[in-house]
Structures are given as structure tokens and as C-alpha cells.
Structure 1
Amino acid sequence: MHFKSGVAAVTLNGGHTYHRLIPAQEGQHAIRWFLHEPGQRYLQGAEQSIPKNWIDAALAGLQQVNPFVKELQNLQTQDDEQMALHIEEPSSIIGSDVAAVISLSPNAPPSRRTIVIKRVGEDHYRFLDLLSPYVEPLHYVLFFPYGTLGWAPGRQLTQTRWHRTRFFMNAEQMSVFSKLMGEYLVDTWSSIEEAKLTYIRANQHQPDDNDEEYIGTGDEEPTDDVRLPSTFIHSPAWAAANVADCLALRKTYGSPTLFITFTTNPNWPEITSQLLPGQTAADRPDIVVRVFHQKLAAFEKEIVDTLGPVDYTIRITEFQKRGPPHGHVAVKLKHVPRTAAEIDKFLSAELPRDSGPLRDAVQKHMTHQHDPKREYHRCGWSAMSHTCQYNYPHVIKPTSGFNERGYFEPRRRMQEDAIIVPHIPYWIMKFDGHINVEYSASVSLFQYLFKYFFKGPDEVNWKVSTLDATSRHSTSKHSSIDQIRDYERGRYLTATEAAYRLASFHITRKHPAVKPLPIHLPGRQHGQMRRRDDSQSDGTLLERYMTRPRHPQLDDLTYTDFGMKCYMVHHDASKPLHWREILEEHHRGRPQQRIRFYEENHVSISRIQMVYPRHGDVFYLRLLLQHRRALSWEDIRTVDDVIYATHRDAARALGLLEDAQEGMLVFQEMLRYAVLPVQLRWVFCVLSVEGDPCVMPIWEQYERALSADIQDNLLRTGPSPSPALVRNNVLQELQDTLHGFGRTLSDIGLPEPFDRQIEIESELGRWGGDPGNLSSFEASLWPEQRIVYNRLREVIAMDDPHPIHVDGRAGRGKTYVLYPVIGALRKANEIVLLSASSAYAAKNYPGGRTSHFLYGIPVDEHNPFLTSMIRPKSDRAKLLLAARCHIIDEISALHFKAFDCADRLMRSLTRCNRVWGGRMLITVGDFRQVAPVVRYGSRTAIAKASIRTQAIFQHFEILCLTHSIRQQNDPDFSAFLDSIGDNTEHLDVDLGCLQHTHSLEQCINFVFPPEILMNPTECARRAILSPFNEFVDEFNSAIIDQLQGESHHYLSTDSIEGDDYANHAEGPLSDPDVLNSMTEPGMPAHTLILKVGALCRLTRNFDPSRGLTKNTRVIVRRMFHHSVEVQTVPTIVAGETIASENITLPRIDCHFQPQNFNITVHRKQIPLALAYAVTFNGCQGLTLSRLALDLRRPVFSHGQLYAAATRVPNSRDVLILKAEGDVSTLTTNVVWEELLLPAE
């Protein structure tokens, strides 16, 4: 963009021309707002020759009737000024719509647009405010040839209503000048928004007298922060309120079933019939938005007519920088289809096979194609990358199913279906447009919906600068919050959005509506409480909730429940109480009212109004009300019989806020309940590993408590020990425990014990001489196992050993055959290093550890090239070199990049470029079972992650075990399981030989009948297995409700990582409810419900040498306020029973990145999860006495069905749960041939 000769002028891409009347200043430009028009369209219009006499005639006519044309100077009479500017325009902005770009400069101070005029005979300029009634007739002379004045402050109609009436009454005449009409729309709506923003800024720091009383006094000093209210569309507060509404709907009815995108078809007859010759839909945004609005309303009604009644719908209309408007609709059906067969009845991602109107419509509207000639694709595809964020073209899929995230993947049986977008064929024919339908009942697609609230208005990155000064301009950093500045900066407003907003169509719509409930501190119910509510004139609903009479129907209601189930009505003493009414108690200064319950079929959804931490104690009151019921203002501040002075203190005591003293509180609590010193030391180590700030104060204050049992033992065996000796023994105990975590005392600031052993000495001291007598297992080997055993001993004895892989189906005794190998080497005082891909599998070996821990492999799923953290001359490096043999179990589930990391480490330590540095390596695994986990990975990505598909595997000698040991008493069942594992033809498996049910209750009673449920040790030998986390949670919730005893709710503390929080201050992500609702597989839930005797599993690896690993089953024994005491389940390892032990678990921190969000969420929670039901992926390593397989939705990945079904020895101990109405005994089985070894 540059200024040309004549009056200083700007032309953007050959499009609209601007004139600068004021001299340019260094580092500044006068452009606050400019019009963006598609360059190619403008050039095409310029090619049309317009007779000069037309222009002269129009000008002459205007001079006669328009007073402004006579009075103002012509630009051609102004002096020339040479000045060059440069504008950088994003290449992706090549749409067909007229648009405005607002507030280009991030450095410019807030200002309003002004109009510059110069009258005839005057030398100075006059400036008109944007709200001047002269702006429109001066700017749009062709629309208002007689100089009709525009809107001005003081008129009876608001600015929006005035312009809406004026525009739509004259839209037909304006449409002749199509591009000018588009400019008028964006200019008009821009001025309306600017007037609103100016008012908000001017009144930002003028709160009502009672506002401070309403919100309480915050902790922050007054600032110059500028914030937009929730009534301003696309403001952070508006987004937060909408997200809160969505959460309220989901909390009541569950996650949405369908996520639909409804897009405008610019060729709808209702649009094209209104166009003049040569016009397109882009020339009539007024028609487009009205037709779209009507069609979208009709479509919402059609959803019910087609799919049946719904619980709720959520709609948001979006306007993008290119293309027509479209609506996103989330729908929760009352009757949710659960199986692929049910969904296939209405949802398709295939091109109709028969030629005809439907096939033509699907080809026209529902194909996702990549055009190499196009420079920009919304999906991110380019001719160089060939990467589409929506994964088009999809792979051919013969049957529909669900993937590991729970997303439904519709079938695409032919190559022509690879680019077809999921849809409902009837809707495509009826509405003649693009309607994408995604099934979402199995996942929380609210996170995907939320991003449309988070994203705010469309923006573009433009830059305007002088050509010779571009490099001198820098972007200033703003220390204060200015949401108006952030909103306006680069705001991209299309004519379509301007027309939609001018017509006052709703951007969002939720049905049923969500009612915000008032929130305030006691006695401060005025101020901002401006909503019309029949109860607020005589006390807010919160005030009446806190002072409600004691009644069985009212006592257990939370504030939100109270707002959803009850409402206040006037009390007439002459009329008797209705059976649904309860009379309030009398309170001074407030007339009595009746609390009436809504009728049963009445729909009422409520949520508490949004407040923020800057509002002070009322924020923490809201936090408490979200999580517990209250009987009074005092009761809400009471936790464990302690009445706290503030709601903030109560929230911290309840665990809803981070507390730097929590570690100390845990320790004090354990001492109060007489927890043993060995458990105190365990918790001390856990806190140390977690980086708790209280570790050193705990050591200084409670060293004596940590060493009480050690001192007693020393007293029994000799004279009174010195304090130095006691301390050294305590340090040694702590060092041994920390060693299991991969940490040392020096890591936490404590001294090392004076007789510290190096790792080689420790390993030999613990396992040298075969203390577990593993060598005795040789006598009980089966003939086939003996052959494998002898070969392993033979290769180990070689001077130049090679790697060996021991293969065998589940239950073939792969681990058993290794015991005598390990025992023989240890008996000869040789070091054998045992590890596994999972800590749970490592427990099967005495001295087993995870491969990641043993070889220092980083846990980083995003890094394709891992480097071991072990230093070459460290104790660990010396241990690895001293080992005679390395054994890795469950190699089939170990990601190859982790194996490659360890392999490169061994090659580096030995300086030998052979597999494992030429040292003896034995791997164990069954490639028929589940493959390595690749988050959201495709079949190709998962296969590539397996060592089976890597070239290095050809260097392994394969030893196979074929005789079934686990199912030896049921050979038919064993053969049936083998057929599942080898089913490479992707044929459905007939489970007719197993018991079936359609009842959730029968399924639970089969596995956990009442007499078994009361015996948690026996429960640990049983499980319900499901492919999906949502069904696992469903089972666990139902079972914990059946367990007798009082429940305890443990709530997590959720927060956003540092910089992320600063970027989302007071937006939707500042609401704790939003963070609480987020989760990822493997992460603890926000709310953990426990009872004494409940069967749980650990959700973190602690110490594999003690069997304290992820997925280890434990039993809840005691529940404290800040921690939980659990007991491990006795297990048998290598023929020896590992006795149970009690450990205490404090809350620990974990973090995850929610899908669709570029943030990191920190969650502090007790590392436990209920374990009555687990996923198919989490069942490896389990041997069970009874199980149920939840196949209401079939498996989705390699080896899942096989791994799950092989957990029990007999077919009579398996029950299959199928979906209601599914009478077939067939189920999907997924086996990937590329992962299997050649046939035996």
C-alpha cells in the first residue's frame, strides 16, 4: 500500500482508496479503520467502462440537491504530499466478502474515529465525531443524496434500532451499489460497537456505591485495568458465562450426542432469487443472513423431527474471514444410540452408490478436497506438507467403530468415500447445503465447543508503516489489562457479520435456558444485583437459601439444586399451603414467602453467577457453593467442625485451593492418628519427590517421629544408640526408599548416610546368592519350557551373545521360564537387571523396575528422539555395564523410541555398535496383545511404534512357547482364545460360547455379588473390563454406591500453569468449574469418592521394588482429611507371597494438556482411582478369577479383545455385556497382521 500523487491516497490491493488530509508523523499513521475488499473482484469491476457523462451528470445532480456537496472542498483542489506507507496483508485473507479491519496499530493510544472536512473558502480542517448526524450523508452521498441526517445522541430509538430500521427499509435501493452497501454495513456496525466501547471505557472506574459491598473487598490494589462486561458479545466475561451455561447443561443431562456444523449455501433459491443480474450472494449480506437465520431455526426443529426428543441444544453462530456464516450445534438426544449399528442407521460418511439427486448433493456439499492450485486451505493442507488436520482423505474402513479417544469413526468402504464428510443424507437433501454431523456421545466434545466461545471475534495481523521506518517501530508491551484494546486490535468485521448483528439475531442460543443465580456475601445483596427476579425485592435467592427452614426435602440441596427445584411465591396467610410448598421462617425486615417446588416435568437449569478472584471473598464463597451444600452462612465456612473466619480459609481447608503448608498438615494429621513411623518416612519421601516446600521444616520438626521405631530397635539389640547413629539409620532408610523413586537425599538437601552403598554393591547385596531360590523353578519346567531355558543359558554363556525374544500367547508361562534363568545367574553372584515396559509387569520379577527408570528414559511423548539421562560414569552406568544379562518384559507394549534410547545408551557405554552394545538382552512379550500407546495415533503410527516393525528386530533369535498353562483345564477355551489372537482377517468373532447379558446390574452382580463386594481382597481378583473410560467410570460409580459405609469426597485443586493463566485471566479458563471438568486418560478425576473397604488402584508409579506401581490394587483402610491410608493386596511373585503393607497417600501434583487447548492444567489430587472396572489397555498383567467384558461398544485397536479375554482360566468365568437390543453374539476383533510374528 502506498500513497500516490495528488492528495495523499491509499489503495489496498487495487481495492478501496483512502485519502490522508493530515500530514503524516514519524512512527504514526492515521489509519484506525479501513475497508478490505477482494482485490480481484474490484479489478473486474474496474474493467467495466463507465461513461464519463454518467459521473458528470450524477455530480451535477448532487450539487443541486445536496447542501454538503456545495459547501465542502473537492479533494482534487488539495495540495500534494509525497509519503510512502507499506501494509502487510495476510495471504489467507482472500474471501469474497467486504470487511472492515479495525485498530491496526498496537501502539496507538485508544481513540475514536473522526471525520475530517474542509469547507469552501476555509484553510483549516473541521473534525466530526463518529456519532455526528452529518457522518452518514457526508460519507454515503449516493445513499442519502438529499443530505438526510443520520442518528445522533438524544433520539428516541437506540443507535442499533435506528440503523436497523433505516437499513432494511432501504436495502433494496442500496443493493444496486453492492460493494458500497457492504461498506455501509461494516461502517455502521463498527460505529455502533465503537460507541459502546467508548461508553464502557468512560464508565469503567465509576462503580455503583454498593458494588464494593456486593463483591466484598478484594486483595488487589486499584488498577487501570479495563474490562468488558458479560453483556458485550465476544468479551472474556461473555465467553465465561456461556461456558458456565454449557457446563450446567452437561452436569444435568450429560455430554452432547451430536456436534453439527450447519453452513450457508450461497446458492439457496431464497438468496439467488433476490440478486440482480451479475450479483452474487456476497453482494447481498442482508439477504444471506436472514435466509441463514430462518434455515438454521428450521434445522433445529428438524433435529427433533428426525432424531426424536432432545434434552438440550446449544448453538453458536460463527463468521469467518472467508465464506458464508455457519452455525455449530451441540445436541443431547434423550435416547442416545450407543452401538455402531444404531449410529449407522442415520449417519453416513459414504457416497451413495446409486446415481441420482442424493449422490449429486453429497458430491456437491459433503466432499473435503484439497486443490493444489489453492494457496490456502482451512485444514492446513498444502501442496508441500500434504497434512490435513481433519485427516482427509481417510483410510478405507469396512465397519464403523470407536477409536481410543471414544470418537466414532464411520465406515468408508470404498475409495470414493475417503473424502466424504459425515452427514445425515435426509438433511442434505432437505436443506441443500453442507451439514457435518459428528457423533460425540462417547467423549466430552464440550472442550471442542468451548473453543468457539474462547476464540473471540475474528482477527487478522496487519501492519502499516512508512517504508523507510518499518524497522524502527517496535511493539510496546502493556502491563495492565485492557480488554477493549485486545478486542479492537486487528478486529476483522465482515459485511455478513455486520448485517447479522444489525438484525439483532442471537449469536448463541441454548435450550433450555440456564438461569444465573445471584452470589454475594451475607448482608451485601444489593449493588450489582440488577436482574429482575420476583424474590430479589425482599432478599435474594441466596439469602433465602442460607436461611431456609430445616426440612428433609431442603437440607441436602446445594444452592444450584435449590435454584433448579424451587422458587419463591408470596405467602397469603388466608390460603393453606400447597403440598409442594414449605413456609419460610420469619426473618426481621423480610416478609415471609413460600418455597414452592417446581412440578416434576418442569425444566429449570441453574448456575451461580460468575465472579473472579479480584472480587475478594465472594469468589471463594462461590467456589464453596459449587461443591457442597450449606445450611447457613456459618455452615458454609465450617470444615471438619472448624468455623473459619473467611470463605477463602474454608476453601483452602477443603482442599479447593493450593496450600503451601499442605505437606505439614498431612504430617500433623498422620501423627494425630498414630500412623507408624515407617509410613511417616514413606510420606516424607513422596513429599520430597513432589518438591513440597515443607520437606525441610518437616525434617527439622519431626526427625524424632521419623526415627522412633529405629531407635527402639537399636535399644533392643544393644546399648543406647547415639543421636548420630539413629540419624544415619534414618537417612539410610530414606535413601533406600528414595532410590525406588529414582532420587537421592542430596536431591532434597539432606546429607548422604556415611556407609552409603554404590548400586552394584546394593544389587549384589540384595539379590546375590539367589535369596528367593528362583533356581529351584528349573525342576518344574514343562518340556517345551526346558528347551527354551537351555537355549537361554547356552546363549548367555557365550562370549559373544546375541539378543533373544521369548514369544508366547497369554498364559504360556513366559515369565515362569525366566525365573530359573534369573536364579541360576544370581546364585553365581552375577547381576541380572530386570525391567518391563510397565511398572505393573515389573512387579512379576523380584527386583524388577520399569525400563524407563532403569535406563533413564525420559517420559516425553512429544519428543521423537529421546536421550537417556544416565551419565556415562555414574553408579547406574557402572551397574548397567556390570550386568551379565538384561531382561525386558512386555516388550510388545514398549514404544520403540524408548527401546532405541536404551539401546543407544548401551552402545555408548560399551563403545560397541551392536544391538545392546553386544551385551546379553532377553525380551519377552506377546505381539498379539495391545500395542504401544500412541496418543491419537493412526494404525501406521502405532505399528511404527512397535519394535516388531523395526529393522533391529531381525537381529533377535525367536524362542516360542505354545503350551497353554493358564487355560490348561479348559482346552476348548484356550483354542478359542488363540483364534482371537490370530484373527488377521478382521472377521467378527462369535462369542456364543460365553455367557451374555444386556443388564448393567446383572453384569455387576456376576462379578461382584454382595458377599464378594464386602471382601475387597477377593474383589481384587475380579474385574469388569471396558474399552472406554466413560463406561469404566459408569461401572465404578455404580459399585461404590452399593458398597456399605459413609463416603468421603476428595476434591482436587486445579490451576493453569503460570503464563497460561495470565493469558486467560477472567476468561472461561479462569472459572474453576471449567478446569474441574477437564480430564485426560490416566489423569485423576476432580472428585474422588471413597469408602472404607473400597478397591482402588494407584494412578502413579512409586516404588516398583515394593510393588507400589501404577495400577497396583489397594484397599482403603482409613480416610483422613488431607490423605488416605491404603493397604496393598497380598500377591504372589515367583512363588513367594508378598505380604500386604499399609501406606499413606497425600495429594500429589500431575499435569496434562487438554485436547483442543494450548494450556497445561495442574491437578493436585489423591493418586487413587476405583478399580472395580478398568480399561482393556489397563488389564495386561492381571490374572483374574472372574471378569465381565463390556462390549456395548466394540474394541477399536490391536489385541484389545485378546488381551482382555485371556485374563481368566475358564470360559464359565466370563460374562459378555452387550447393548440393549443387540441380540447378536458377534463382536468386532482388531488384529494387525504387521505386528504379529510369522506363524509358528
Structure 2
Amino acid sequence: MDMLNEHNSVAKAFRMARDWCSANENHPCELRLLAQRANLRQYSNPNVSEIAALVSNDFGVSSEPRDIVVSTTNGFLQRISELHPLYMVLQYPLLFPYGESGYHEGIPYFSNIGRRKTKRNCLTMREFYCYRIHYRPNEGTTLLRGGRLYQQYLVDSYTAVEEQRLRYVRTHQPELRVELYDNVCDAVTRGDTNAKALGQRIVLPATFTGSPRYMVQNFQDSMALCRKFGNPDLFITFKANPKWSEVGHMLSFIPGQKSHDRAEYVARVFKLKLNDMMHEIMKNDIFGKALAGFYTIEFQKRGLPHAHILIWLDEMARCKTPADIDDIISAEIPLEANDPKGYKAVTDYMIHRPCGPDAREASCMNMGKCMKHFPKPFYQETTIDEDGYAVYQRRNTKNTVVKFKIPLDNRFVVPYNRKVDEVKNYLDCRYLSPCEAVWRLFALDIHYCKPSVVKLTFHLPEQHTITLRDSEDLPALLHRPRIKDTMFTQWFELNKREKEARAFKYSEIPAEYVWVNKDKYWKKRRRRKNTVGRIVYCHPAAGPRYYLRMFLNVVKGPRSYKELKTVKGRVCESFKEACYAYGLLNDDREWSEAIAEAKSWATGPQLR
């Protein structure tokens, strides 16, 4: 406390405010810290002991939303904005004993010229916090030695970054609307010129990492891979292990620290090893030639960050027999004499903890049964059940390991593979809340998809969506260059321009051509790429749009909407009629195809 009183100007200011309020109980007062920083020297350490009192009814709706107000009238302390330079200093005085200023929106880059030149001249909040949590041998380590308080700091930093991003979306929301092109044309015909009367507000976009639309887009991308390559061949779970030697080496920089004290070390090493493993699978073909791969990162209460990985293999590399499965997956304890490293890895990390009648209080137990279905039955050999799932070989070899004074045999082994960075990569470990925070602060991907999936939009004639601002003049908007050009209409133009393009369906175009969004046209790829096209989903209740999408799955090379509806030389009145003429709706095929498509991504209640 003496150190804070001597060196921390913020702590002294609040102590002075407390003393003044105690001495003047009959005078309601509020201490206000202004968030604006027009002149940095204006906010340097005060030279005199001074308190400014403001009348309480001066605060209202018109007040700056980023101010902090310390009130004695209601007994509560209002929280300071995360954009205030003193936010973290006030929240964590023990981590910043000298009252060092934190993030504000005017911190310039040290060098922003040449190859390092960016469109921005100042740091973002995420970049600032990433800088603060890195160890540097020539800097103090008070923050990094904070233990549990440092973990809270990491989580608070991430929430501050997320709140700033959400605030940006929220504050810019009134400026943006989305509407159909023909509706804008109708409005201009009626004489409307104000964009405020049209369209609907844009909500949290799919580009916002972690948003519902973001997750759905990635989910639909993975389903596009399933439609292209069939069901995945391998499902791999890759977990972080805080006992990795690389983590221990980084922890040695500050003696006495444990892995849970430095969540950023675990996250960074995990990401490096995950990248290395995906390189081994996708490039070095350790399981055979890989056609596609997809993973998502999860953070659960009872585990470190882990990746769920789907791998699609070439026909020649697929596991077609039980012997093929045994070559890559094992569910037995190795013999210590034959494989001492494998024995140690499996017994340390790949044994399910005791449960069932021997440990009814285990965390995996629910209503007297293990939620993971351990212990598994013994099986003399690997088989494939009627649903196509592998039942792994678990022989009664009498080979056991003792955990919590209970002998465990092959029935408790979690299936593993010895090729993937050794089995030590897997560890059932306790929950570390800051891991997701640092993962997101480092802007590490939470999804991986290879080959890439291109989202292909489509629309009825003059029914494409356009983005407009409240302040835009509608007649001028309709004269905007390329306002009518879309990915879909330019597909027609591509078919007019290049004869070879007419040999492909719409979903096959991304493999041969790349969409140049800036200039709104399809450009021939220099070399063919294994890119997957995904036509955006459309509900059957959408009517004409649904039938248009159905028709796009079979038709090749149309050069106009009229030609798209032409079947056997006859121009159909609607896309539904075109589907009938093509034989897509002569029976229950329409609904069978809809259910067949939905079964690859929809849940049971959604299908019902």
C-alpha cells in the first residue's frame, strides 16, 4: 500500500476523492475521468493535489458514453470504459503499480513506412494487448507474474476487444441497409429519394468471428466438402498438452511459473504443433493422399484448447477393411518391453480415468453410467458395425496400469495413433479460462478448411441485394457503376465470353475461374485449383428461388435467364416448370433431394 500511495497517481486521486467525500457527506459529488485525449501532456501526472466536483444532475443522456463516473450518491462505482487509458490501471492496480497508461485510440506505430506501411497509422486494441502479454528480457515482468490476477487480465482484455468490435458494428448499424435492386427501382419510380425508408438493417455480419452467421457459414463450407468428396474418412481430436517441452522452456524465463500461469504459451505452442500436424497430413500424406481437411477449435470447461479434425482421403488410401483400421488406430496398451515410449505415453495420457462401479463420483458419471461409455467391452478383433462405424480391437491381454489405486486394462484405453506427433499430444486436463482469450487476442484461426470453399450467390432477375446508406440518394445509387453486376449475372457473361466455360455447372466454376470482386468479373485461373463451389442454401418455402437453385445443380453454361429456363428447345414460363421439364419434379424427387441435402447438416428436430 505504501508503494501504491507513493508511486501510483491514480490510486492517490481516488484516495483523495474518498477522503473528500467522507468529509463532505452533505454535498453529493461525482468524480469524472474524461476519456478524450486531445493533448497527451494534458493527462500527465498531476503536479498539485486537486479534486474537481461536478453537479450530479449534469450527467445525462448527452454525456460521453466512454466516461467513468464514481458516485457517492447511490453507493455504487460505475465501470470505466475499456477505451479509457486508465481502464486497466484502475481495474488491476497491483499489476500496474506505477499507474502506467494503457490503450487509447491514438497510439501510433513505431515504424509505418516501406514494407511495413499499412492503411492504419495507429495500433488497434487487439494489437496493443498482444504486445503487452509477450515476454521481453529487457522489460519488467510484474504483469506476467500476476498468476490468477493475470488470467483475469487476459479475459478482461479479450472482452474489451470484443466489446469494441461490437460497438463498432452497433454504432455503424444505422448507416447501412440492405434491399433488393428492383425494390430500389420501384421506390425511385414512386418518387422516393431517401434511403431511410427502404430495406432492413444489417445485423451482426458473417465476417464477425464467432458470430452465429460466421459459424453457420463455416458449417456450410464443411458440408460442401462432404457433397464434393463424400463422408470424411478420419475424425481426429488433437488436444493441447501443457507438459510439452516447448511450453516448459518458455516457462523457464520466469522461474516458478506453471503452465496455467501463462495461457498464451500453451495456445501458441498448440497452434504451432497443430499447423505441423496438418502439414504432415495434407502435404506429407502420412495417412495416404489427403483430398481435403477441415478443423474447428473448441474451448471447453474441462479441457485445454483442442481441434476436431475431419480428413478426406483418396480412394486408394481409405480404410476399407479392419486390417486397414488397425494400421492407423489402436485401442490397446502397448507392451512396455516392446515399446517403452509408447507404453509411457498411452498410460500417461490415453487412459480414461476410473469410473463405473469403482468410481461412482467420477466427473464422467451421469445417472450411474459413464457418458463416454467406459469401460468398453473386450473385442478380439476390429469390426465395422451396421452403421459403418469401427469397433476397435480390445483384447483381454491382462496388460494393465494402475490409476488411483485401481487397475485398468484395454477397456479404458482411448483410441490413439502413434504417427501423429506421438501420443503425448493428447491430455485430459483441467480448464484454463484464459486460453480462449489469448487465442482470440492473437487472432489465430478457429476454423481451417482445405481446399477452400467459395460461396456462390444467385438470385432471380433484378432481385439481387444491394447495400445502401441512410444518407444515399436513390437515383444516384441506381447510376452507380456495375450496380447490376453480380457473381451470378457475370457467370452468364463468362459463358458468352469463353466457350470452354460452358462445359461447367455453376458450382464447378470456382475450380477453373476466380471471382474478382473489385472489378466484378470471373477471371481464368492460371492453373486449375481444387476449389469447391457452394451454392448458398435456399429453403423450399422460398418458391421460385428454390427451383432456380435446384436447376443450377444440373444445368451447364447458360448465357442468360431465358436460356437458363430453356429445356429441349422450349422456353419455360418459370423455373418450377423448367424443373418439371427436366424431370426433377415428376415424382417425389424434389422432396427426396431436399431431405438428402439437409440430412448432411440438419439436426433431427430440423428434419422433422
User: What is the TM-score of this pair, normalised by structure 2?
Assistant: 0.69
1:344 match = 326
Q: 1:362 to 1:158 in 2, by over 3 A?
A: same
Counterpart Cα distance in 1 of 2:427 and 2:450: 20
User: Which residue of 598, 603, 625 maps to 2:552?
Assistant: 625
Q: 1:211 to 1:545 in 2, by over 3 A?
A: same
User: Gaps spanning 5+ residues in structure 2: where?
Assistant: 26-63, 108-121, 186-196, 399-408, 469-481
Counterpart Cα distance in 2 of 1:614 and 1:222: 24
Please give the secondary structure, in 2, of the residue aligned with 1:273. Answer: helix
Deviations 1:1064-1098 (A, max 9, x none): xxxxxxxx8851536xxxxxxxxxxxxxxxxxxxx
Deviations 1:347-375 (A, max 9, x none): 21111123422112111111122346685
Q: 1:132 to 1:124 in 2, by over 3 A?
A: same
- Tell me if structure 2 keeps the 8 A contact 1:397–1:413: yes
User: What is the TM-score of this pair, normalised by structure 1?
Assistant: 0.36
2:389 match = 407
Return the offset for 1:179.
Answer: 1.0
User: Which residue of 300, 304, 323 maps to 1:324?
Assistant: 304
User: Which residue of 117, 123, 129 maps to 1:163?
Assistant: 129
User: Which residue of 1075, 1090, 1094 maps to 2:598?
Assistant: 1075
Q: Give the aligned residue type for 1:140.
A: Y
Counterpart Cα distance in 1 of 2:483 and 2:432: 41
2:45 match = none
Deviations 1:298-357 (A, max 9, x none): 122233542233111111111012221111111112221311112212221111123422
2:532 match = 605
Return the offset for 1:546.
Answer: 1.9
Counterpart Cα distance in 2 of 1:353 and 1:79: 78
| Bigger CA radius of gyration | 1
Q: 1:116 to 1:203 in 2, by over 3 A?
A: closer
Q: Give the aligned residue type for 1:240.
A: V
Please give the secondary structure, in 2, of the residue aligned with 1:606. Answer: strand
**1:213-292 equivalence runs, <5 A:** 213=181, 227-275=203-251, 279-292=257-270
Q: 1:545 to 1:74 in 2, by over 3 A?
A: farther
- Tell me if structure 2 keeps the 8 A contact 1:316–1:507: yes
Please give the secondary structure, in 2, of the residue aligned with 1:427. Answer: coil
* Aligned residue pair count: 503
* 319-328 vs 294-303, greater mean Cα deviation: 294-303
Q: 1:499 to 1:1050 in 2, by over 3 A?
A: same
1:361 aligns to 2:345 (yes or no): yes
User: Which residue of 412, 421, 425 maps to 1:433?
Assistant: 425
Counterpart Cα distance in 2 of 1:567 and 1:223: 30
Counterpart Cα distance in 2 of 1:505 and 1:405: 36
User: Gaps spanning 5+ residues in structure 1: where?
Assistant: 1-55, 81-111, 437-491, 530-535, 570-589, 657-661, 667-1047, 1056-1071, 1079-1153, 1163-1240
- Tell me if structure 2 keeps the 8 A contact 1:270–1:291: yes
Deviations 1:197-239 (A, max 9, x none): 233334445434x74329999xxx9999884211123322112
Q: Give the aligned residue type for 2:605.
A: I
Q: 1:76 to 1:517 in 2, by over 3 A?
A: same
Q: Give the aligned residue type for 1:230.
A: A
Return the offset for 1:75.
Answer: 13
**1:326-725 equivalence runs, <5 A:** 326-334=306-314, 335-355=317-337, 356-371=340-355, 375=361, 377=363, 379=364, 381-382=365-366, 385-414=367-396, 416-427=409-420, 430=422, 432-434=424-426, 494-522=433-461, 527=466, 539-547=485-493, 548-549=495-496, 553-567=500-514, 596=524, 599=527, 602-609=529-536, 621-622=548-549, 624-626=551-553, 628-629=555-556, 631=558, 632-637=560-565, 641=570, 643-644=572-573
Counterpart Cα distance in 2 of 1:75 and 1:368: 61
- Tell me if structure 2 keeps the 8 A contact 1:115–1:135: no
Counterpart Cα distance in 2 of 1:1049 and 1:121: 71
* 619-628 vs 602-611, greater mean Cα deviation: 619-628
1:1050 aligns to 2:589 (yes or no): yes
- Tell me if structure 1 keeps the 8 A contact 2:8–2:97: no
Q: Give the aligned residue type for 1:390.
A: K
Deviations 1:770-798 (A, max 9, x none): xxxxxxxxxxxxxxxxxxxxxxxxxxxxx
Aligned CA-pair RMSD? 4.6
- Tell me if structure 2 keeps the 8 A contact 1:159–1:192: yes
Counterpart Cα distance in 2 of 1:514 and 1:392: 38
Identity of paired residues, percent? 26
Counterpart Cα distance in 2 of 1:560 and 1:211: 25
Counterpart Cα distance in 2 of 1:598 and 1:116: 57
Q: 1:402 to 1:66 in 2, by over 3 A?
A: same
Counterpart Cα distance in 1 of 2:375 and 2:20: 55
Return the offset for 1:558.
Answer: 1.4
Using CA pairs below 8 Å that are at least 6 residues apart, which structure has the higher relative contact order?
2
Counterpart Cα distance in 1 of 2:446 and 2:150: 22
Counterpart Cα distance in 2 of 1:537 and 1:213: 9
Counterpart Cα distance in 2 of 1:143 and 1:269: 28
- Tell me if structure 2 keeps the 8 A contact 1:115–1:130: no
**1:846-857 equivalence runs, <5 A:** none
Return the offset for 1:650.
Answer: 6.5
User: Which residue of 158, 165, 182 maps to 2:151?
Assistant: 182
Please give the secondary structure, in 1, of the residue aligned with 2:2. Answer: helix
Deviations 1:74-119 (A, max 9, x none): 7996999xxxxxxxxxxxxxxxxxxxxxxxxxxxxxxx99885538
Deviations 1:929-978 (A, max 9, x none): xxxxxxxxxxxxxxxxxxxxxxxxxxxxxxxxxxxxxxxxxxxxxxxxxx
Please give the secondary structure, in 1, of the residue aligned with 2:297. Answer: strand
Q: Give the aligned residue type for 2:18.
A: Q
Please give the secondary structure, in 2, of the residue aligned with 1:282. Answer: helix
Please give the secondary structure, in 2, of the residue aligned with 1:332. Answer: strand
Return the offset for 1:169.
Answer: 5.7
Q: Give the aligned residue type for 2:510.
A: G
Q: Give the aligned residue type for 1:504.
A: A
Please give the secondary structure, in 1, of the residue aligned with 2:388. Answer: coil
Q: 1:222 to 1:65 in 2, by over 3 A?
A: closer
Q: 1:326 to 1:69 in 2, by over 3 A?
A: same
Q: 1:124 to 1:225 in 2, by over 3 A?
A: same
- Tell me if structure 1 keeps the 8 A contact 2:85–2:104: yes
2:188 match = none
Counterpart Cα distance in 1 of 2:462 and 2:70: 59
Counterpart Cα distance in 2 of 1:164 and 1:353: 45
Return the offset for 1:407.
Answer: 0.5
- Tell me if structure 2 keeps the 8 A contact 1:214–1:521: no
Return the offset for 1:506.
Answer: 0.4
1:310 aligns to 2:271 (yes or no): no
Q: 1:1053 to 1:200 in 2, by over 3 A?
A: farther
- Tell me if structure 2 keeps the 8 A contact 1:427–1:435: no
2:47 match = none
Counterpart Cα distance in 2 of 1:367 and 1:412: 13
Return the offset for 1:503.
Answer: 0.6
- Tell me if structure 2 keeps the 8 A contact 1:638–1:650: yes
- Tell me if structure 1 keeps the 8 A contact 2:174–2:201: no
Please give the secondary structure, in 2, of the residue aligned with 1:174. Answer: coil
Q: 1:537 to 1:424 in 2, by over 3 A?
A: farther
Q: Give the aligned residue type for 2:5.
A: A
Q: 1:596 to 1:199 in 2, by over 3 A?
A: closer
